[in-house]
Amino acid sequence: MKFEIELSRQAGAHLSYFSVRRQAIILKSIEEQLSFEPTVRTKHRKHMRPNSLASWELRIRDFRVFYDVSLEPNPKVSVLAVGVKRKNKIEIGGEEFSI
């Protein structure tokens, strides 16, 4: 079953902080990794502890994509935030964020 991928307005704004080349890398990986079985844990995907951001995290190099998955009425992945991990901190939209 293929999942529809929906980028939130905020996630789109977060992407604008990256170069066009990095945006392409992130978007390609989102499509490849989340179109099928986005809730299967892999070395790049993990279910997160309860937090105010998202249920799932996708790791792409130093980048992090935070997303939720819904099955009803249609299978959909909602990308909520995109950031970069630097050491032990996450920067989303130019601001440091703790999860």
pLDDT tens digits for 14-70?
999 999 999 999 999 999 999 999 999 999 999 999 988 899 999 999 999 999 999
Which residues partner with 19 through β-bridges? none
| Confidence (pTM) | 0.93
The DSSP secondary structure of 25-84, one letter per residue, reads HHHHHHHHHHSS-TTS--SSEEEPPS-SS-SEEEEETTEEEEEEEE-SSS-EEEEEEEEE
Pairing of strands 76-86, 4-7: parallel
Nearest to 22 by CA among 79, 80, 62, 57: 62
